[in-house]
Amino acid sequence: MDATIESTTTLAPDQVASSEDAPPRLWLGGLGAGIAWLAAALVVEFWPNFDDWAYTTELASAAGALGGGLLFASVAGRRLPGIDRLRSLAPWLVALALLLTSWEIFTAKLNLLPRPFFAPPQAFLEVYFEDWRRLGECVIRSLLLLAPGFFIGAALGFASGVALGWSRIAGYWGHPILRLIGPLPAIAWLPIAFFAFPSSWSASVFLIALASGIPVAILTWSGVAGVNSAFYDIARTLGASQRFLVLKVAVPAAMPHVFVGLFMGLASSFSVLVVAEMMGVKAGLGWYLQWAQGWAAYGNMYAALLVMAVMCSGLVTLLFKIRDRLLAWQKGLLRW
Amino acid sequence: MVSAAARRLDAPDNAEGMRLDFLGVNHAFALEDRPLPVLEQIRFNVEPGEFVALLGPSGCGKSTLLRLVAGLEPPTQGQILEDGRPITGPDPSRVVVFQDPTLFPWRTVRDNVALGPEAQGLLKSHRTRIDDALALVGLSGFAKAYPHQLSGGMAQRVALARALVNDPRLLILDEPLGKLDSLTRISMQGELVELWQRSGFTTLLVTHDIEEALFMATRVIVFSERPARVKADIPIDRPYPRHRGDPKLVELRRHLLELLGLAQTW
């Protein structure tokens, strides 16, 4: 009896091995990464630039500081807290140092790639140092547009999905509508939305809500409709009311589907956000991209793209964390 | 498995088992072109506290009969009475244990057992009762485990605890041991009999296993091929605990095989 529980909770063999082995004196991966980053710093600082590029020294210092830190960590070894999590990152750290070095050589040092389309790494630093205020404001404006749109869309999508899956009348009236409207890209509503809503902000919230709500509605619906009918039989024989059947049987059983819908909705809300900011809203990261391109400020564009990537990835990670908490009962969850 | 907790769980507030009367029950499935009859003129009574095994060829409609008793579906024709009143819907006094444990995978073992009290709004007052039910099936240590961490036998015990926590007057068992390995099955047969003896509820058991029926039940009802009719109603007047080698049971077994048209295979 006990064996079943033990086998599911024991660690994978490699995890066991790494925690039981005696701590190595030197973290070799960290040593290699440190050397790679120090080398990158030397290349950036002492190989003369082809042209005058600001923030070259700052870039070199940053790379040098990272390299020095890694060297220290590789020697200090296990005494540092959290070092175990860094351990597996060593190959990535080496690769990133090599990538930065070759990028630097091809752009700032040899000028082999056409300017201004290819900005050197220090151009990113320049943007972040000199334009951080505007970039930061754009991130906040984007989030203030995305959050209400996504939450309204997810809530309405979830509620209508449950209704469609549960009630025959809602299914009868809702199914044709969803079938007609669902496949239409939310962006197609953009001209009408900007005409029909009082402000470009509210129009964009509507579009984002539509884009995120429809996949949530469809997946919630299919989740509720696909619940094993034996669950309902069990609950009914135990005295469950209709309300209990919806809230405590149908909804939790459909949750894995709902989360698939939420991920799809989040992804399409990103694209609607960017388009809406480029087309009508005069703020946000989408607008920043458009603006940078208009001024041929490609450094700003890449820097904003990186910020946007970090923001979107962060939001997806957040949703994964929420799912992992809520659906901890599921076996074999995908790790993000 | 049956421990001190059992005595508290089968508190005699309604220790009396349920009486059932099947009054000419007919049932048919609505297929596309025409109805498919599954039950025909089912007519028998079950006295309070009896343990009745329903035996019959696979797919003959025994499980359908249990669904009707559970109140999950109304019969096409005829009536089933519980203590003289017609059954109109499901009720926690008639609980079912299915062949699949069908535990809710998003609930811990304890929360699965708590399902009935929670659905009836009795969660607060039934707290110790839920723990007692878990102790009764020997799974107190697994209260916080999730169903996917359990073996088949453990999951079926949880399903049993989930049924018993409601203090049923009728326990409906739809091949509850059918998917278990033979060792677990034999030990759980004994446990179920002990439970039934000390609790006093009426039990209906659908099974394919003649030995199981003979080992556990006070009466075996044999059904014909679909549409199912009552073919024979055989009391098993042997004392408990029974022994599988009991010559009287061996004789009954031959008789039952004969009724099911399988006499020449033994």
**Residue A142 near residue A277, CB atoms below 8 Å:** yes
Residue B143 has pLDDT above 50, yes or no: yes
* A217 and A150 co-located in one domain: yes
CB–CB contact B151 A327 (8 Å): no
**Which value, to the nearest 10 degrees, does the dihedral of the CA atoms of residues A118, A120, A125, A131 take?**
-30
Place A4 in a pLDDT band, splitting at 50, 70 and 90.
very low
Least confident of A20-34, A66-80, A199-213, B231-245: A20-34
pLDDT, residue A6, reads: 41
Mean pLDDT confidence for B87-95:
90
pLDDT, residue A147, reads: 95
Long-range contacts made by residues A128-133, C-beta under 8 angstroms, separation at least 24? Answer: A128/A303, A129/A55, A129/A58, A131/A300, A131/A303
Place A78 in a pLDDT band, splitting at 50, 70 and 90.
low
Higher pLDDT, A77 or B243: B243
Alpha helix stretches (DSSP H) within B122-238: 127-136, 152-164, 182-199, 210-216
CA of residue B162 relative to chain centroid, distance: 13
Residue B5 has pLDDT above 70, yes or no: no
Exposed / middle / buried, residue A128 (Cβ in 10 Å: 0-12, 13-18, 19+): middle
Query: With an 8 Å Cβ cutoff, is A331 touching chain B?
Result: yes
pLDDT, residue B111, reads: 93
Task: Tell me if A126 is assigned to some domain.
Answer: no
CB–CB contact B72 A237 (8 Å): yes
Q: Which of A230, A244, A331 faces B119 most closely, judged by CB atoms? A: A244
What is the percentage of chain A residues whose pLDDT exceeds 90? 58
Task: Tell me if A333 is assigned to some domain.
Answer: no
Mean pLDDT confidence for B238-256:
86
The strand pair at B230-235 and B94-97 is best described as unpaired
* A30 and A90 co-located in one domain: yes
pLDDT tens, position by position, B124-135: 888 888 998 898
List of domains in chain B:
4-10+17-265 (3.40.50.300)
Least confident of A5-9, A107-111, B107-111, B187-191: A5-9
pLDDT tens, position by position, B229-243: 888 898 888 888 888
Place A328 in a pLDDT band, splitting at 50, 70 and 90.
confident
* A142 and A106 co-located in one domain: no
The chain A residue lying nearest B106, using CA atoms, is A329
Mean pLDDT confidence for A132-151:
93
Mean pLDDT confidence for A135-162:
94
Q: How far apart are CA A154 and CA A219, in angstroms?
A: 11
Task: Tell me if A146 is assigned to some domain.
Answer: yes
Task: Tell me if A125 is assigned to some domain.
Answer: no
Task: Tell me if A240 is assigned to some domain.
Answer: yes
CB–CB contact A231 B104 (8 Å): yes
Q: How far apart are CA A25 and CA A223, in angstroms?
A: 53
What residues of A are in contact with residue B150 (Cβ under 8 Å)? 4
Q: How far apart are CA A78 and CA A21, in angstroms?
A: 12
Q: What is the CATH number of the domain that holds A187?
A: 1.10.3720.10
CA distance B202 to chain A (A): 16
* A75 and A221 co-located in one domain: no
pLDDT, residue B10, reads: 45
Task: Tell me if A334 is assigned to some domain.
Answer: no
* A108 and A178 co-located in one domain: no
Residue A161 has pLDDT above 50, yes or no: yes
CA distance B262 to chain A (A): 33
pLDDT, residue B224, reads: 86
Residue A58 has pLDDT above 50, yes or no: yes
The chain B residue lying nearest A253, using CA atoms, is B106
Q: How far apart are CA B210 and CA B257, in angstroms?
A: 8
* A151 and A288 co-located in one domain: yes
Q: Kindly report the backbone phi and psi dihedral angles of residue A113, in degrees, each rounded to the nearest multiple of 5, phi listed first.
A: -100, 140
* A193 and A64 co-located in one domain: no
* A199 and A244 co-located in one domain: yes
Domain boundary among A82, A117, A152: A117
Place A272 in a pLDDT band, splitting at 50, 70 and 90.
very high
pLDDT tens, position by position, A16-47: 444 445 555 678 888 999 999 999 999 999 98
The chain B residue lying nearest A250, using CA atoms, is B104
Least confident of A66-70, A278-282, B78-82: A278-282
CB–CB contact A239 B92 (8 Å): yes
Residue B7 has pLDDT above 90, yes or no: no
* A296 and A158 co-located in one domain: yes
Query: Prior bond to B227 cis, omega within 30?
Result: yes
Q: Which amino acid is at A207?
A: L
Mean pLDDT confidence for A122-126:
89
**Residue A204 near residue A277, CB atoms below 8 Å:** yes
Residue A54 has pLDDT above 80, yes or no: yes
Q: Which of B102, B146, B148 faces A234 most closely, judged by CB atoms? A: B102
pLDDT tens, position by position, B156-176: 999 999 998 998 999 999 988
* A309 and A177 co-located in one domain: yes
Which residue, among A1, A233, A234, would best test binding to B if mutated, counting the most B CBs under 10 Å from its CB? A234
Residue A132 has pLDDT above 70, yes or no: yes
Q: How many Cβ atoms sit within 10 Å of the Cβ of residue B95?
A: 28
Residue A12 has pLDDT above 50, yes or no: no
Residue A288 has pLDDT above 90, yes or no: yes
CB–CB contact A237 B149 (8 Å): no
Q: How far apart are CA A48 and CA A110, in angstroms?
A: 9
* A43 and A169 co-located in one domain: no
Task: Tell me if A181 is assigned to some domain.
Answer: yes
Place B15 in a pLDDT band, splitting at 50, 70 and 90.
low
Average pLDDT, chain A: 87
Q: What is the count of structural domains for chain A?
A: 2
Task: Tell me if A171 is assigned to some domain.
Answer: yes
* A149 and A246 co-located in one domain: yes
Domain that holds residue A256: 132-326
Mean pLDDT confidence for A331-336:
58
Q: How many Cβ atoms sit within 10 Å of the Cβ of residue A95?
A: 12
What is the percentage of chain B residues whose pLDDT exceeds 70? 93
What residues of A are in contact with residue B116 (Cβ under 8 Å)? 238-239
pLDDT, residue B245, reads: 84
Domain boundary among A93, A117, A141: A117
pLDDT, residue A233, reads: 92
**Residue B39 near residue B26, CB atoms below 8 Å:** yes
